[in-house]
Amino acid sequence: MLLGKFGRLLSVGLVLSTVSSCDSDRLSTADPVWTLYSIGPTNGREHVATFDSDPHPGDKIGNKGRCEEVRRLFEAHRKGRSYRCDLGRFRER
């Protein structure tokens, strides 16, 4: 009985540890996740896109570079709104 409880506790602990570290692992890689937000004067911050591709050999732009490129394109074509790239996944405030 004790070994059964210990096994279940160990399994639950491993699952929780894995789930809680998933996002932090992506932040610690060489090409972390970046998120593009639209910033408006009346409605605040809105999620636009998340850049979460795995790095490929020869890829010099990466997730941050793609986010910044899209941000510049949106700002050039959508006057009156600004855009911002933030490190990490989208999170409600």
What residues does each domain of the chain span? 2-87
Q: What is the pLDDT of residue 50?
A: 97
For residue 89, give every residue at least 6 positions away whose Cβ sits within 8 Å of its Cβ, in sequence order, or none. Answer: 23, 26, 33, 35, 50, 52
Write out pLDDT tens, residues 44-58.
Answer: 889 999 999 988 888
- Chain-centroid distance, C-alpha 39: 18
State the Cα–Cα distance between residues 31 and 36, nearest whole angstrom.
15
User: Which segments in the chain show pLDDT lower than 70?
Assistant: 1-31, 93
